[in-house]
Every structure is written in C-alpha cells, then in structure tokens.
Amino acid sequence: MCSFFLNLYLNLGLYPKFISAIPFWIDKPPEDIDEPEGSSAEIHCTTSGIPTPIVQWFINGVPLHELADNDRRMILNNGQILRIVNLDHDVDTAVYQCNASNPFGYVFGNAFVNVRGKIYKVEIGTRFELVVAYAPYFKMPSHRIWNVVRKSTVEMSCDVDAAPEAMVKWVDTNDHSIPVVLEKINIFPNHTLRISQVNSADEGLYYCNVSNKYGINRAVNQLQLVFYLLYLLDPTHFIRVPSPKKSILEAHESVEYVCEAVCDPRLTIEYSWTHNGIPINDSVHFKLLNNSLLIVNARGFHSGAIDCIVLTDVDVKISGIELTVLDVPAAPIITGINCNERRAMLRWRRPDDHGDQIKQFLVQMHTEFEEGLWQTVVEEENTAADFYQADIALSPWVNYTFRIIARNSRGESEPGFKEGIVCSTKAYYPFTNPKDVRAEGSEPNNMVIEWKPMDKYDWNGPGLQYIVRYKFNKPGEAWTEIRIEDPLANYTVIREQPTFREYLIQVESLNSFGRAVVKPTSVKGYSGEDTPLLSPVDFSVSEFINCTAVLLIWKHVDRDTVRGHFKGYLIDYWENEKPFAIMNSGAEKHKNETILYGLKPVTNYTARIRTANSRYLSESPSIIKFTTPEGSKKYGVLEC
C-alpha cells in the first residue's frame, strides 16, 4: 500500500466497568465551634466517595479563594480540615461551609464559628474604644483541696477561658514558678500540674495564675496527705489494664482499649484518658465509652503514650500503652529558606516516620504562572540523616513558594511549609528561545513558520515578544525579519513565496530587557508544495512472473518537476470489467519497477502510474493495459 498517500484509521472504544459513589460524610458533618479570641479552631469536612470528592470552603457563602489572603487560615489533610489560628472575633466569627463533590453528586455542611468576646471600654491615649474581649475566668472551682495518700499521683487542672488567650503560670506560696522535675513534677500543654510519688514535702498551696490584658485571676489548690485513710480504706487497684503494652496498628484501622479498676466502696471512681499527657475528649477519632477508649480511623499522629487514669478522692492510678500507628510520615519541618536572585537554599528536619522508614524527600516549588501545580525539583534519596538541605536554581521574574514531602512505603506525607516565605526574583534577559521550530507551506505560494510558545516561567521579564527570521538556504542571501508581539502566538504565515523552496528559519525571544542571551538555532524549512508536473514515462510490462504476478517498469521523473517532498510513485490497477474496484501499490522514489501480485489468470487489466509528493499526485498518469497469461489446475491447485 502507499503509506504516504492513503491512511486508514480504526478507532476501537474500550469501556471499562467501574464503581461510583456519591460523596458521603465519614463521621459527621462540620460542627459548630465556640472558642475564645486568640485561640485556635479546626473545622472538619471529612468525606469520602468514588472518585475522591473535591472539597471547597466558603465563608458566609463566599468561596474562600475569592477572599483576601489570610495566613491565619490553613487548609490541611487534602482540603478536609480548615484550621484558623489566633482567632479574631471581628474577622473569624462567621458561618463556614464546605462542599465535597465528585461527578456523581455532593454533600454540603455548615458550621458556625463563634469567637467569644465581651465588649470592654478601653482607654487608648486620650480616647475610649469598645473592644471585644474578656478577662480570664476558670471553668473549674477556683478553690480546691486535694486529699491524697503517700506515694500516689495527683493532677491539678487549670482550665481557663479568656479572650485574648490567657497566660498561665503555676507558682508556690512565695510566688516562685514551680519548676518541672523529671519523673516528679510535670506541667502539660493544657496547663495541668502533675505531681508523682507525693510525700510530706509536697504538701501546701499551689496557685494557678492567669492573666491577659483585660484582667488577672488565681486558682488555689491545697495539697494534703491523709495518713489515716491508709488504714481505713481498701487501696484502689486495676483489675483490667489496656493491652498490649506495645500496640501496633495500620493507618485507618480502629481499636478499643479497656481499663477497669476497683476501689473502696466508700469512694467514687472516675476514668479519664490522655494522649501524650493531654486529656482526650470525644472527637472524630476518639470515642469515650464508660471505662473504654475507642480510636476510630487511627492515623500516624495518634502514635504515642495512651494512658488510662483512675481517679478517686484520695489517690490516682495510671496504666498505659505505647501506640504505634503505621502511616505515611508526618510533614517535614522546614527550618529555613534563604534565597537570592539566582538560588534558594532550603533546610529541613526529619519528621516522625510513623513506624515506617522514610525512603525519599520531595522538594517541590510553585509559581503563580501555573496555579495549583507543584513541580518536584529535588528528590533526596539519602534519608539516614536528621537534617537536610537542598540548593535550587531560580529563574528571573518569578515568585516562588516551596514545600517538602516525605515518602515511605505507605505513601506521601502532608506537605511541610514555611508560612509566609516567598522568594521573588527580578526581571532579566531571556535565557532561552522558542523550541520545536519548523516551517512548511500550507499552500503552493506560502510558508507557515511554527514554534512552541515559551512558558511564562521562561519569559524572565515583562513584554515578551518573538523575532522571526527567514531566508533562502543558499550563500549570499539576506535575512528577512518580522516581530511577533503576542507571546502566546505559535505561528506566522509568510505569503507570496515561490513554490517549494528551501529556507533557513530562526525564532528568537526578547523582553523589556532585551534579546535572549543565547543565539537562536537555524532550522531548515520549505515553502508550499504543488501538483507534480510529470508522471513517469515508458510505463510498461517487463515480464509476467506467472499467471498471477506481473513486473512493471518505468523511467524516473526529473526531481525538479516534483514540486514538493518527493515520496515516490503510486500505481493504481483494476480489472477492466470492474473499474470501480481499484487496487493500488506504492513504490519508493529511488525505484523504477514493481511487481503486482494476486492477479487473476487470463484477465484484462488496466494500470496507471503517478508521481507523488507529500500533498499531491501528478494529474496526467501514464496508463497501460495488459492481459495475464493462462494457468492450469492440477489436483485442484492452480499452476502457472
């Protein structure tokens, strides 16, 4: 067949079966939040579906991306968590909505975030202003007596509410700060004071002082030993503890831990649970059921110490396990980003691998030219160290942000960011010129010069344009130059050109600084093709190979008469009695003969030959007629 002239395409459609699911809430829709000014809040939009839903956030019905940037708001966990830090009553009190959608449907949830405050009249210079805030107050009794037995453990909470958030400080009767003592005294992030192995030296008063700019408050805790109870009360002890002591889960699994103790019948018993020393409350992942703790859809950040605390009026008992959740790593901790006009240096620290060794770090960059697209610029395979750095080349006239992702066998971590850091470079000359330059005519008297427009990342400055040059490819010819002002243009048409002539082509870039620092490459191109002027002459039958095959020969045409890219010859042939059933065969340009196979014996045929270039066939073919010889059948098989 003549592959340069006749093309047959067959498209086969394959339609796989697949499962779909409209988005649904994994646990529950977003819940209302009530927090004081200066604290933090997280709104959860935990959904699933097939395919995975895309989550969009709104504030009072306005899409989040249409609002002014606010670095206190962070989108986490692939869009399923909206975190707001340092809550501001005037800005953050609002209705927040999330829409999770895929091609099969959506779910929509609302949550009201109330940033608590109280209007105070505050003197500022010579005037008064009303501000939304309030002084600290305690959410537990401000005077408490703790009766404990020797060598037990006591935990004194300091649960305070204030706007803005209060400063909390534990002090003794001399107003000295209470120091943390290893295995003896600990102060947790929620301001709870724990004293272990209590003895007579620990008796006395403990004060929790709280303050913000609108007021101060103090909670008094009196610790006293009760010796006589040791002889009157049965000791509290566990009859069932959380197990196993070292617990390993796969990410997204669920697990239940049970804790049970008995105490003297004259005492009451209370159960509480902590995660790394922080009290656990009912949430999306934690469910408290009497004396048991259910962890739902466990993730790597749940790894750590899980303690069951049994509390009576006179003692505290603690039993715990060490939980490891095998998961993707935690987000890498970026410790520094330093950049200049040509390079950026990123430094980061190894994150928790969540029980599965980190295999790779991906350093990625983002520019405003490709919204939403992060490009990996460094793949760090050496993961044995604790601290890392990467040196990244920068391009002029670009604003860069960076992130780092850790990868283990279970997948990729959430990206680690350095909030508020943008590397901005100044404009400069272009470093490169357009690629994929080519030129071919679309008509006999023109030439279409094409190129790939430069990515905006490579413009290096405003006002990018292209200079297109062309000339005949022979000595002594001068360049003709035109300017293309549209940086997104990818072609220009040069008209009134002679048919099928060879040219040299260049496409060069320039911006407001000037022309590219590298010279453009010259490529060959051609003006348009036209119909070949001649078909081969002396087209004839050289010999019959047998009764079903014939050798045809001809003389080559003059190359100058082809008027295009010379592809060869096309031979059409048909039975005289079936002129509508035309068959064809192609011959390459350097050949002057071909064999036609599969003919019928004793049959009259007509054949014609034409010259072919990339676009056209010659209009006046050479034609011959011939009759195939007779064959014979022997034992039912045709012989020639």
> Per-block average pLDDT, block size 10, for the chain (640 residues)?
32 38 85 85 90 89 85 89 88 88 85 73 50 80 87 90 90 89 91 91 92 88 73 80 94 95 88 91 91 95 93 84 95 92 93 94 93 93 92 95 96 91 94 97 96 96 97 95 97 96 98 96 97 96 94 95 96 95 94 95 96 95 94 57
> Could you tell me which residues come within 8 angstroms of residue 19 by beta carbon, excluding any fewer than 6 positions away?
50
- What is the Cβ-side half-sphere exposure of residue 541, based on CA atoms within 13 angstroms? 17
How much of the chain is in helix, strand and coil states, percent to nearest 5? Answer: 5, 50, 45
pLDDT of residue 183: 87
What does the alpha-carbon distance between residue 358 and residue 576 come to, in Å, rounded to a whole number?
76
Amino acid identity of residue 485, one-letter, is E
In whole angstroms, how far apart are CA 444 and each of 6, 439, 472? 21, 13, 16
Determine contact, residues 605/625, Cβ cutoff 8 Å.
yes
Whole-angstrom distance, CA of residue 383 vs CA of residue 387: 9
DSSP count for the chain of H helices, then E strands: 2, 56
Domains and CATH numbers, the chain: 22-116 (2.60.40.10), 134-229 (2.60.40.10), 233-326 (2.60.40.10), 333-415 (2.60.40.10), 435-526 (2.60.40.10), 540-634 (2.60.40.10)
What is the per-residue pLDDT for 131?
Answer: 54
3-state secondary structure of 621: coil
Beta bridge partners of residue 91, listed in sequence order: none
Q: Which helix (H) or strand (E) holds 356?
A: none
- Assess contact for 623 and 606: CB atoms under 8 A: yes
Per-residue pLDDT at 394: 94
What tokens does 320 get? Answer: 């715990």
Phi, psi of 301 (to 5 degrees): -75, -5
Residue-level pLDDT at 436: 97
User: In this structure, are residues 170 and 178 in contact, taking their beta carbons and an 8 Å threshold?
Assistant: yes
> What is the longest distance spanned by two Cα atoms in the chain?
130
Cα separation, 549 vs 541, whole angstroms? 11
Asked whether the beta carbons of 331 and 413 are under 8 A apart, the reply is yes
The pLDDT, as a whole number, for residue 147 is 84
* DSSP annotation of 582: -
> pLDDT value at position 266?
79
From the list 137, 133, 115, the residue with the least C-alpha distance to 210 is 137
Q: Which two tokens stand for residue 474?
A: 């022979």
Q: What confidence score (pLDDT) does residue 571 get?
A: 97
Q: Which two tokens stand for residue 128?
A: 């008064």
What is 212-281 written as a DSSP string?
A: ETTEEEEEEEEEEE-STHHHHSPPPEEEE--S-SEEEEETT--EEEE-EEE--TTS--EEEEEETTEEP-
- The pLDDT value recorded for residue 190 is 92
Between the CA of residue 486 and those of 68, 454, 466, 517, what are the distances in Å? 31, 11, 8, 20
Q: Residue 78, exposed/middle/buried by CB under 10 A (0-12, 13-18, 19+)? A: exposed
Q: Which two tokens stand for residue 32?
A: 């209302």
Residue 389, helix vs strand vs coil:
strand
Phi/psi of residue 480, nearest 5 degrees = -105, 135
User: How far apart are alpha carbons 191 and 139 in whole angstroms?
Assistant: 13
Transcribe 300-337 into DSSP letters: GGG-EEEEEEEE-SS-EEEEEEEEEEE-SPPPPEEEEE
List 324's β-bridge partners, or say none. 248
CA distance 546 to 549: 5
